[in-house]
Amino acid sequence: MAAEKANYNQQQIGETTNAMHQIEEATRKIADFVQIITEISERTNLLSLNAAIEAARAGDAGRGFAVVAGEITRLADQTQQSAREVEQSIDATLESIQNGVHRVQSVSENMTVILSEVQNIDSQVKSIETNASQHSDNVTGITDSAQIVESVIGEIHSGANEQKRATDEVERTMEDINRSSQSVSEGAGHLASLAGDLNHLAETMLAEVEKFHLEEGASSNPED
């Protein structure tokens, strides 16, 4: 029974480790997405700055264009700030995952020792049963074997306590990972929303550019 429980715990540890690696992989993908959004917002910010300069040169004709360019600059700055916050959450999540993996590995090592000791005590008990049936008069041998078993049981108890402490640490780590992952998810959602707004404003700016070009062309080619 003890060996079966130890084996089950080993299986659970393996599944926990796999889950952590999956979370890590998903988090790194979000980090890649954040990096792309950051680069786009930086380029957009620069373009909107140049556009604002050109709009200022155009005077009243570029006023609407300047307003849109200013709004894009503001939104691009907000996007970059949100991206930095998401990056911080990602770093915290990855750190929690790495700590969790180390702790799970520690639990796994402890469980390996415990499993070995359980198998050892099982062998010892069987040996005692054999000695008791074959040498019922050898009380000293049985007593010595019983003392060995008692010693092994003490080691198992110590190992089990160590495993519980490590398991508690893993549970706390998983809670930290869940909180960090939630923060990353919320931040990524907000960032995606900002990216959508940024895209909408970029389209508006393009429309203003086309409108400005049309008005400029009309003023340079008046009808007779």
Q: What mean pLDDT is reported for the chain? A: 71
| Better-predicted residue by pLDDT, 122 or 172 | 172
Give the Cα separation of 125 and 11 in Å (integer): 26
Q: Which fold has domain 2-218?
A: Substrate Binding Domain Of Dnak; Chain:A; Domain 2 (1.20.1270)
| Better-predicted residue by pLDDT, 177 or 35 | 35
How much is the pLDDT for 199? 73
Give the Cα separation of 79 and 72 in Å (integer): 10
CB atoms within 10 A of CB 49: 15
pTM above 0.85, yes or no: no
Q: What is the pLDDT of residues 30-41, one digit of tens each?
A: 788 778 777 877
Give the Cα separation of 89 and 131 in Å (integer): 62
Angle at 183 between CA 181 and CA 188, to 5 degrees: 95
Helix extents (H) in the chain:
2-58, 63-134, 139-220
pLDDT band at 72 (very low <50, low <70, confident <90, very high): confident
CB 52 within 8 A of CB 69: yes
Q: What is the pLDDT of residues 108-160, one digit of tens each?
A: 777 777 777 767 766 766 766 666 555 555 555 555 656 666 666 666 666 66
How much is the pLDDT for 45? 76
CB 110 within 8 A of CB 10: no
pLDDT above 70 for 53? yes
| Better-predicted residue by pLDDT, 143 or 193 | 193
Half-sphere exposure of 6 (CA within 13 A, CB side): 20
Q: Crossing angle of helices 2-58/139-220, nearest 10°? A: 20
Domain boundaries along the sequence of the chain? 2-218
pLDDT above 70 for 98? yes
Percent of the chain with pLDDT over 70: 62
CB atoms within 10 A of CB 201: 20
| DSSP code for 213 | H
User: 141 CB contacts (<8 Å, ≥6 apart)?
Assistant: 131, 135
